[in-house]
Structure 1
Amino acid sequence: MADRRLQVFHAVARNGSFTRAAEALFMTQPAVTFQIKQLEEQFNTRLFDRGHGRVTLTAAGELVMAYAERILGLTEELESRVSELTDELSGILHLGTSTTIAGYWLPYLLEGFKRKYPRVIPRVSVGNSQLIESRVMDRNLDVGLIEIVTEQPTLDRRSAGQDELQLIVAPGHPLAGETSVQAEQLAEYPLLHREPGNAIRDLLDQYFAAAGIAFEDLNVAAELGSLSTVKHLVAQGFGIAVASAAAIRSGVKAGRLVGISLEPKLYTPLEVILLKDKFRSRLVNTFADFVTEEIGRLSATRKA
């Protein structure tokens, strides 16, 4: 098993902070500081430079970090190999998902997976697609579920399905009676846009650009990180927005929102990503296979 001090050192180096490392490890900050002090005394050198609210690795720290990555990786592989001698999958799965997938796809995915493998403990992080992509690349997550087609060469990507994006308006809005709308029709209305880094924002910006409409020409009323806030403000008549069809289904059914197809149609990809050079346990591979197949099935069912 890996030395606990190496685990703490790795967490501090990854987080750039004793406080954030303590939070990630569910330890107190003094306990983290003590572990690092012991490791520095063992090597008789400083491993971190401290200043300006952030810690950085010294030259010796960089060397220790390289070996810590290898040692912790081998420890994880050893534990996984031993656990795989049993028939039933178990253990912690570090999973990251975009906000839309977390709210409207993940409950069904986890329900199905937990029914098959009840001893697995999913530990879920939620953020925009770019954040989840970076956390998979930083080895903080085993699997990512995102809504962008990644171009990172260090990642393996699996195209699992797609979801239609639709315009949403309040029932009394002038566009509410339309069966489809084009980009030119939307430019004049206040737009409740998503935050930078959000996959749907990027797709919508590309949609307007393809129609010859620059971002500066849009009537952006707000940039929001919360889809719930977007839907609430649209329902209250504060503007229009574009969202996943899966995310607006309940609001449309309840009569709070009207969903309208875009012309040409716009779809968000649903992707499963894993790091190429990171050891993958049977649990990680099984989950990646399961969600790829299940997203494809759910995507086809919802489209129908």
Structure 2
Amino acid sequence: MELRHLKLVREVADKGSLTKAMENLYLSQSALSHQLKEIETHLGAQLFHRVNKKLILTGAGQIVLDSAKKILSEIDKTENSVKKYVNGDKGLVRLATQCYTCYHWLPTLMIDFNKEFPKVDIEIFPGVTENPDKLILDGELDLAITSDHNDHPALTYTELFRDEMMVVVPTGHEWTKKPYVEAEDFREQNVFIHSYPIESVTLFNQVLMPEGVKPKKVMPIQVTDAVLQMIKAGLGVQVMARWMVDPYLSDNNLELVPVTKKGLFRTWYAAHLNQPEAPAYINNFIEHLKCNVGGVCECEGEC
């Protein structure tokens, strides 16, 4: 049995004739008659009695009709749910950022985003810092803010902004008198990183390793607030994206110093599945990321 057979039984039972059923099924009377004969042959049972030019359900027909109503109703619900999901009426954005536990930009983003999509929830995965691409491909994440661009054919990387990586030092540190620091300056320093492997850390793969410089000590700390407290105490330094550190500079206990004369920059992306019919709220959320995280708004004031 196919869905067209179930629709036929439902319409004929409701209208009482093939002629009237034609209006909703958009098929000729002969085509409907052929389908009815087809399903009756398949089931080995007559579904309608023909009484005074009217089609009346048999006992077997009633069984089929009861099932048809349930099945077609579930299909209608599924189609409506998918349409609402695609149009952004209801959904979920599961989000992670690479490397840091900084979400100071999130409250403003959520307020703006929820004005347009009040039924879309945002779920944060703060522990996800490595290989978010795999989690997106596995269906465990919807979006990741990342500086990695792996060109996976199943993923889309939407550029958010380009930001400078700067070394965070305590107020009064000797480096604050320099216009910038170079690789050699790190040789006698304790350097905090977010996590290993060391080759994945921007400071190391772009500045220190090419110059053959090894810091005095390397210490991984994954919580932003904790590492900044360590820096304030004079226990080490860390190179971080400026947009992540800016909110912490107001207490005047931390300062930023450029790394190398040319500066150290990274481009940030929103990584997500390459879906031809992605929910409308996904693209909207990415625009809000540009506005609230990168300060680059392309939504003409609507963000």
Give runs of aligned pairs for residues 140-151 of structure 1, distance below 5 A. Answer: 140-151=140-151
Equivalent in 216, 223, 228 of residue 226 of structure 1: 223
Q: CA deviation at 1:76?
A: 11
2:211 paired residue number: 212
Q: 1:128 to 1:251 in 2, by over 3 A?
A: same
Q: 1:102 to 1:136 in 2, by over 3 A?
A: farther
Q: 1:142 to 1:197 in 2, by over 3 A?
A: farther
Say if 2:256 is the partner of 1:255: no
Identical aligned pairs, as a percentage? 17
Q: Distance in 2 between matches of 1:238 and 1:296?
A: 30
Q: Which moved more, 1:136-145 or 1:96-105?
A: 96-105
Q: Which moved more, 1:222-231 or 1:168-177?
A: 168-177
Question: Contact 1:170–1:256 (CA<8 Å) still a contact in 2?
Answer: yes
Q: Distance in 2 between matches of 1:213 and 1:120?
A: 49
For 1:207, the aligned partner's letter is Q
SS of residue in 2 equivalent to 1:179: coil
Following TM superposition, where does structure 1 have runs of at least 4 consecutive aligned residues deviating by more than 6 angstroms? Answer: 74-77
Q: Distance in 1 between matches of 2:122 and 2:161?
A: 22
SS of residue in 2 equivalent to 1:156: strand
1:191 paired residue number: 191
Q: Distance in 2 between matches of 1:207 and 1:136?
A: 27
Question: Contact 1:193–1:223 (CA<8 Å) still a contact in 2?
Answer: yes
Q: Distance in 1 between matches of 2:231 and 2:242?
A: 15
Q: CA deviation at 1:139?
A: 1.2
Q: Distance in 2 between matches of 1:185 and 1:299?
A: 37
2:157 paired residue number: 157
Q: Distance in 2 between matches of 1:265 and 1:135?
A: 32
2:169 paired residue number: 169
For 2:182, the aligned partner's letter is Q
1:112 paired residue number: 112
2:84 paired residue number: 83
1:272 paired residue number: 270
Q: Distance in 2 between matches of 1:77 and 1:198?
A: 48
Q: Distance in 2 between matches of 1:295 and 1:172?
A: 29
Q: CA deviation at 1:146?
A: 1.7
1:203 paired residue number: 202
Q: Which moved more, 1:242-251 or 1:76-85?
A: 76-85
Q: CA deviation at 1:112?
A: 1.9
Unpaired runs of 5+ residues, structure 1, are 1-73
Q: CA deviation at 1:158?
A: 0.9
TM-score between the two structures when normalised by the length of structure 2 = 0.63
Equivalent in 228, 232, 236 of residue 235 of structure 1: 232
TM-score between the two structures when normalised by the length of structure 1 = 0.62
- Mark the structure with the bigger radius of gyration: 2
Q: CA deviation at 1:182?
A: 1.3
Q: Distance in 2 between matches of 1:84 and 1:110?
A: 19
Question: Contact 2:221–2:227 (CA<8 Å) still a contact in 1?
Answer: yes
Q: Distance in 1 between matches of 2:77 and 2:196?
A: 35
For 1:175, the aligned partner's letter is W
Q: Distance in 1 between matches of 2:279 and 2:186?
A: 47
Deviation per CA, 1:139-194: give whole Å up to 9, x if none. 11222222322333321111110221111111232212223111221222111222
For 1:235, the aligned partner's letter is K
Q: 1:287 to 1:195 in 2, by over 3 A?
A: same
2:55 paired residue number: none
Count residues with an aligned counterpart. Answer: 223
Q: Distance in 1 between matches of 2:216 and 2:159?
A: 33
1:62 paired residue number: none
For 2:97, the aligned partner's letter is T
Q: CA deviation at 1:100?
A: 3.7
CA RMSD of aligned residues (A): 3.3
